[in-house]
Chains A and B, each alone.
Chain A
Amino acid sequence: MTLHLAALHLAVALDGAGWHPAAWRESAADVFSARYWAGLVAEAERGLLDFVTIEDALGLQSTLTDGADDRANQVRGRFDAVLLAARLAPLTSHVGLVPTATTTHTEPFHVAVGIATLDHVSGGRAGWRPQVSARSFEARHFGRRAFPPLEEVLNRPGGADLSAHPHVRELFAEAADAVEVARRLWDSWEDDAEIRDVATGRFLDRDKLHYADFAGPFFSVKGPSITPRPPQGQPVVTALAHSRLPYEFAAASADVVYVTPHSAEHARAVVEEVRGLSADLRIFADLVVFLGTDAARRKARLDELDGAELVSDAAIFTGTPAELADVLLEWRRAGVEGFRLRPGALPYDLEQIARGLTAELRGRGAFRHAYEAATLRGLLGLPRPSNRYAEVS
């Protein structure tokens, strides 16, 4: 079926017991059990959402800019997001799985092969959110590079805009190289490289395997990949971006960008800026959401439990699913094509999204009634790309 022009894409961002630091206090969430996560993705799939993202970092959560805090009253600890996504893949059949993986301290080859593997085990539902880490305490987990403390960086000329600092610019350049390596490795096997030709004894047609031959200031990667081309050809690369430098990174490297506008008017301006950099990028807006008739009261209670009002890089919404639908459609008209909603508390706000919000949007002709594709690229309307190395015959 054809959807209304105003149809939008919906994703949810999963992290811990939800995005409010006190959310665990009012939830039965057991964030270190596979069953808990299985329940969340099943709910997302029941709501026909496009994909879920899974947060990650190579260091403990902290309220400090750079370094572990000693707080014992918030969720601390996370699983490796790529492995968690793979654990969930056999339990689902349509919803996309988009783990976060850091580019700063990891091997681009391992990350690329891990995401390709996620695409194989999920039958073409893998994505990746590459993330940089400028934090010196995370660098100390590796002991290979000394980073200045972030507080010190922020006190330098240029101030609070991190992207003004050479240290951060370099990390984004490295991230762009990591994505470039991944994309080359994903294409390094042509789709029909495996021939199993008994007559000549050849399993592979080696003319259809290609070296990545990437050489840059941060690393060199020869290739080819050890993993055949993923089902989607290129898994979906996504990026969270708040300012010019990450917008540029997203435009050059990603298929989907998550932006953080605070109003419809702001959304229109952000879309215009991003569109100036890329005509093809899918633009999603992030929102932290507390849903239901008592949403504001729930949030206030959690703020009180945490001893501080929730702050976020994204806009914070409290209200009913119908009210949220109004906002999303207004932002949709401003040019935002989809939304990555960050549930304030899990699983409650996810259920409100997957049941209430999707029903509301469907009633307005703005959301799918059934999954229309079996791959994440298919759900996002992204064609399966041809292989950069294949000769056009």
Chain B
Amino acid sequence: MSRRRVHLAAHFPGVNNTTVWADPRSGSQIDFASFVHLARTAERGTFDFFFLAEGLRLRELKGRVHDLDVAGRPESLTVLSALAAVTERLGLAGTVNATFNEPYELARRLATLDHLSDGRAAWNVVTTSDAFTGENFRRGGYLDRADRYRRAAEFVRLAGELWESWAPDAVAADRASGRFLRDADAVGEVRFHGEHFDVEGRSTVPRSPQGRPVIIQAGDSDEGREFAAAHADVIFTPHGSLEDGRRFYADVKRRLSRHGRRPDQLKIMPGATFALGDTEEEAAANAAAIRRAQVGPQTAIAFLEQVWGRDMSAYDPEGPLPDVEPDLSGGVSQGRVAIKDRAAVAAKWRALAEEKHLSIRELVIEVTGRQTFVGTPETVARQIDEHVQAEAADGFILVPHLTPSGLDDFVDRVVPILRERGAFRTHYTGSTLREHLELT
């Protein structure tokens, strides 16, 4: 069997608690120049795609806007459309919520992006039901978890009908005969009556270069895996160990056949962070320094407050975990994924802090996870390749910790080694994102 090829994507390090803003090298998270720098770096590294996350309401802690992390982001598809003008091959993936959008409008925006980028558009489908985010929208928030996925599935099916409603040769633009459209039937009428949507009419956008923009699904739950197996081209998962990755990979690929799909029609790309150094020791030191920068003293307290559900600002972040019980009556955090079973999490954290004699800040650094890949460029390239060869992943969505220069070292130092190993492309062979991802 031939060697498996690694796929790589670059997550823009914007609004994310892993983005270090206090570093002197940290630039703007909103200036277009930052997006251009990161996208062009990814394209220089022949990455498959550039990825933007989304958050439709500023996060809050204790009833006020959370002020410790980077905040402020553009509308995903608008900035990706601008990036299409300054890149040529790089895929452009935007996260867009299926709960707070309407299929007709979003489908035409995605088809537009696919045209304007010559076939490089991708949509990361997310759902949310929280009333907190819903306060910014007509619809409000009211869907339970299962409904969210049913609505998302219907949304994607309807979007697909709209994308395919123009015949491939619908636009004749035949000046001699005067036919702009091939004929009156060139644009099909969509009639969709489902549980969540009643839509009738014709799309305004001709079939786009990819036909269907690439669909990405983020998430690890059973509903999420099933949704991905049915609808997605890429699944963006949290990263675990190599063994966890292999189990997840096998499970998701097995589900595909139930939907009449082949294993290679869904690419599994966990999110991954990295820290590099000239030696293993230097890399480990860099990794530790990045973790300390990501979890500043105030951020450590804020993390603790999310679990304990109460004001902890009086405690010294460099001191021991105080002897107070969590308040389980209500949460203090809004706009983040809720922590399930805070009592159990608090007990686990306490046991860990006592066992390893950790301060509050050291504890938070410990529990919020180290970098996925730490080492010299050779080590990191080997580890990435090994994960892919072992079928723990098809590739990774890399999350740098700095804007906009956080990918520079990876592209300059790790990508050449991946190429030497024969694990990664040396140049783009296709022009569309589907071609980069080998989705046929």
Tell me the B21-39 residues at the A interface (CB within 8 Å): 21-22, 30-32, 36
Q: Identify the closest chain A residue to B113 (Cβ).
A: A83
**Distance (whole angstroms) from the CB of B352 to the closest CB of chain A:** 23
Contact among B70, B179, B184, B204 with A57 in the assembled complex (CB-CB below 8 Å):
B204
Instruction: Note all chain B residues with C-beta closer than 8 A to A33.
Output: 115
CB pair B171 A90 closer than 8 Å: no
CB pair A141 B200 closer than 8 Å: yes
CB pair A83 B32 closer than 8 Å: no
CB pair B116 A222 closer than 8 Å: no
Contact with A along B66-92 (1 / 0, CB 8 A): 011111111101110110111000000
Contact with B along A135-174 (1 / 0, CB 8 A): 0011011111000000000000000000000000000000
- Within the assembled complex, what's the spacing in Å between the Cα atoms of A255 and B137? 26
- Within the assembled complex, what's the spacing in Å between the Cα atoms of A34 and B118? 9
Contact among B31, B56, B175 with A226 in the assembled complex (CB-CB below 8 Å):
B56
CB pair A25 B201 closer than 8 Å: no
Instruction: Note all chain B residues with C-beta closer than 8 A to A312.
Output: none
**A362 on interface, CB distance cutoff 8 Å:** no
CB pair A72 B112 closer than 8 Å: no
**B246 on interface, CB distance cutoff 8 Å:** no
CB pair B109 A121 closer than 8 Å: no
CB pair A84 B105 closer than 8 Å: no
CB pair A59 B69 closer than 8 Å: no
Binds A, one of B57-65, B144-152, B273-281, B421-429: B57-65
**B104 on interface, CB distance cutoff 8 Å:** yes
Instruction: Note all chain B residues with C-beta closer than 8 A to A205.
Output: 67
- Within the assembled complex, what's the spacing in Å between the Cα atoms of A32 and B203? 14
Name A's B-contacting residues (CB within 8 A).
24-26, 30, 32-34, 38, 57-60, 68, 70-80, 82-84, 86-91, 105-110, 113-114, 116-118, 120-121, 123, 137-138, 140-144, 189, 194, 196, 198, 200-206, 209, 218-224, 226-228, 305
**B102 on interface, CB distance cutoff 8 Å:** yes
Contact among B166, B178, B299 with A201 in the assembled complex (CB-CB below 8 Å):
B299
Q: Identify the closest chain B residue to A142 (Cβ).
A: B102
- Within the assembled complex, what's the spacing in Å between the Cα atoms of A161 and B239? 61
**Distance (whole angstroms) from the CB of B92 to the closest CB of chain A:** 11
Instruction: Note all chain A residues with C-beta closer than 8 A to B292.
Output: none
Report 23 cross-chain contacts, Cβ distance below 8 Å, ordered by A residue. Answer: A32-B206, A72-B180, A77-B171, A87-B81, A90-B86, A91-B85, A114-B75, A114-B77, A117-B75, A138-B201, A140-B199, A141-B200, A142-B104, A142-B105, A143-B199, A196-B22, A201-B299, A203-B69, A206-B67, A218-B138, A223-B136, A224-B65, A228-B72
Instruction: Note all chain A residues with C-beta closer than 8 A to B112.
Output: 79-80, 83-84
A24-B173, A32-B171, A86-B82 known; A73 vs B136 contact (CB < 8 Å): no
CB pair B205 A79 closer than 8 Å: yes
**B257 on interface, CB distance cutoff 8 Å:** no
Contact among B31, B56, B118, B183 with A109 in the assembled complex (CB-CB below 8 Å):
B56
**Distance (whole angstroms) from the CB of B293 to the closest CB of chain A:** 10
The 8 nearest A-B residue pairs measured at CB: A201-B298, A143-B198, A222-B135, A72-B181, A117-B74, A117-B78, A121-B82, A70-B184
**Distance (whole angstroms) from the CB of A188 to the closest CB of chain B:** 9
Most interface-central of A70, A141, A189, A220 (chain B CB within 10 A):
A141
- Within the assembled complex, what's the spacing in Å between the Cα atoms of A71 and B199? 22
Contact with A along B283-327 (1 / 0, CB 8 A): 000000000000011110000000000000000000000000000
Contact with A along B100-112 (1 / 0, CB 8 A): 1110110011001
Instruction: Note all chain B residues with C-beta closer than 8 A to A203.
Output: 21, 67-71
Instruction: Note all chain A residues with C-beta closer than 8 A to B85.
Output: 34, 38, 87-91
Instruction: Note all chain A residues with C-beta closer than 8 A to B72.
Output: 189, 194, 226-228
- Within the assembled complex, what's the spacing in Å between the Cα atoms of A109 and B85? 26
**B55 on interface, CB distance cutoff 8 Å:** yes
**B9 on interface, CB distance cutoff 8 Å:** no
CB pair A83 B78 closer than 8 Å: yes
Instruction: Note all chain A residues with C-beta closer than 8 A to B358.
Output: none
- Within the assembled complex, what's the spacing in Å between the Cα atoms of A70 and B65? 52
Q: Identify the closest chain A residue to B175 (Cβ).
A: A25
Q: Identify the closest chain B residue to A228 (Cβ).
A: B72
Instruction: Note all chain A residues with C-beta closer than 8 A to B102.
Output: 105, 142, 144
- Within the assembled complex, what's the spacing in Å between the Cα atoms of A117 and B82? 10
**B370 on interface, CB distance cutoff 8 Å:** no
**B186 on interface, CB distance cutoff 8 Å:** yes
A105-B102, A204-B65 known; A60 vs B74 contact (CB < 8 Å): no
CB pair A107 B113 closer than 8 Å: no
Q: Identify the closest chain B residue to A137 (Cβ).
A: B201
Q: Identify the closest chain A residue to B30 (Cβ).
A: A228
Instruction: Note all chain B residues with C-beta closer than 8 A to A200.
Output: 298
**B197 on interface, CB distance cutoff 8 Å:** yes
**Distance (whole angstroms) from the CB of A181 to the closest CB of chain B:** 10
Contact-size category for B: 35 or more
Instruction: Note all chain A residues with C-beta closer than 8 A to B21.
Output: 196, 203
CB pair B81 A227 closer than 8 Å: no
CB pair B181 A76 closer than 8 Å: yes
- Within the assembled complex, what's the spacing in Å between the Cα atoms of A75 and B170? 12
CB pair B178 A25 closer than 8 Å: yes
Instruction: Note all chain B residues with C-beta closer than 8 A to A110.
Output: 75, 100-101
CB pair B201 A34 closer than 8 Å: no
**B348 on interface, CB distance cutoff 8 Å:** no
Contact among B56, B79, B206 with A77 in the assembled complex (CB-CB below 8 Å):
B206
**B258 on interface, CB distance cutoff 8 Å:** no
CB pair B136 A68 closer than 8 Å: no
CB pair B201 A141 closer than 8 Å: yes
CB pair B101 A68 closer than 8 Å: no
**Distance (whole angstroms) from the CB of A14 to the closest CB of chain B:** 15
Instruction: Note all chain A residues with C-beta closer than 8 A to B64.
Output: 206
**Distance (whole angstroms) from the CB of B332 to the closest CB of chain A:** 15
**Distance (whole angstroms) from the CB of A89 to the closest CB of chain B:** 5
Q: Identify the closest chain A residue to B32 (Cβ).
A: A121
**Distance (whole angstroms) from the CB of A369 to the closest CB of chain B:** 28
**B187 on interface, CB distance cutoff 8 Å:** yes
- Within the assembled complex, what's the spacing in Å between the Cα atoms of A59 and B30? 32
**B247 on interface, CB distance cutoff 8 Å:** no
**B262 on interface, CB distance cutoff 8 Å:** no
Instruction: Note all chain A residues with C-beta closer than 8 A to B65.
Output: 204, 206, 209, 224
**Distance (whole angstroms) from the CB of B306 to the closest CB of chain A:** 16
CB pair B104 A114 closer than 8 Å: no
CB pair B204 A77 closer than 8 Å: yes
**B5 on interface, CB distance cutoff 8 Å:** no
**Distance (whole angstroms) from the CB of B432 to the closest CB of chain A:** 15
CB pair A73 B137 closer than 8 Å: no
Instruction: Note all chain A residues with C-beta closer than 8 A to B171.
Output: 32, 77
A86-B78, A209-B65 known; A30 vs B173 contact (CB < 8 Å): yes
Contact among B36, B67, B199 with A141 in the assembled complex (CB-CB below 8 Å):
B199
A73-B178, A87-B84, A200-B298 known; A143 vs B71 contact (CB < 8 Å): no
**B254 on interface, CB distance cutoff 8 Å:** no
Instruction: Note all chain B residues with C-beta closer than 8 A to A219.
Output: 137-138
**Distance (whole angstroms) from the CB of A339 to the closest CB of chain B:** 28
